[in-house]
Structure 1
């Protein structure tokens, strides 16, 4: 996770928790005047539009006071959704046996992008099965990862 996202998580997490939600992750996508701060929240009973609005109101007020981003941006608050992005190896623990799309910062076993089944998570190490072959990845080398929903 980039430095700005780490600072934002530290700043936002208590406010989100106080509202009864889990802060799943934060993404800051730089695009000049069209930059976007995405805040993903989760709850065991799901997330409604009103939940997102409540969190947006609290987080927006907090960001106005703290002013951690020195450029214009849009704030988006949502659930992680069906294609749940992962922000840590620990988040993958509950998804062992599920298929994940992964993009690495550098190729490993001649793959930079792949889809694989999570076999095990041990600390920051994630074991996948990719095209029938085992592959172990240290989460620090993951650029992006998200769940691949299985629609039956």
Structure 2
């Protein structure tokens, strides 16, 4: 099980208790430092106090469970307006909405970054409407999908 999967299991009940929804977990090395980022959401928006509450309640749980061997910085923040979509339930929630899809390389002559409409998904592909045509993009080729609000 990955570090992020372990942390999701620990963080989800804390988020529920704090009245927020766990959106995503990232564990990344930046320079010589490691960062554990917990992204949260709720319908009326996230306030700094929501982030503080989750951080204060989650920190001792992470210390006790010790799912990460490296020293790291814990950051809790809002998923943001242009949030990244990574879980199937994210796709369900934003089906039919405009997204920005980034791929690692150009696929089928499309640019690496495209504005499109989220049209569906399965285990292997994300279905989009781009230039009026529905097409499927293999999940392995996608670096990031974010909400397009602008």
TM-score, length of structure 1 as denominator length:
0.82
Question: Do 2:119 and 2:129's aligned partners in 1 also have CA atoms closer than 8 Å?
Answer: no
How many residue pairs match? The answer is: 149
Instruction: Give the 3-state SS of the residue equivalent to 1:72 in structure 2.
Output: coil
Structure 2, unpaired ranges of 5+: none
RMSD of the alignment, in Å? 2.4
Tell me which residue corresponds to 1:78.
77
Q: Mean Cα displacement is larger for which, 112-121 or 31-40?
A: 112-121
Tell me which residue corresponds to 2:134.
134
Which residues of 2 match residues 2-151 of structure 1 at below 5 A? 3-31=2-30, 33-104=32-103, 108-111=107-110, 113-124=112-123, 125-139=125-139, 141-150=141-150
Structure 1, unpaired ranges of 5+: none
2-structure distance, mates of 1:148, 1:85:
10
Shift of 1:48: 0.4
Question: Do 1:89 and 1:126's aligned partners in 2 also have CA atoms closer than 8 Å?
Answer: no
TM-score, length of structure 2 as denominator length:
0.83
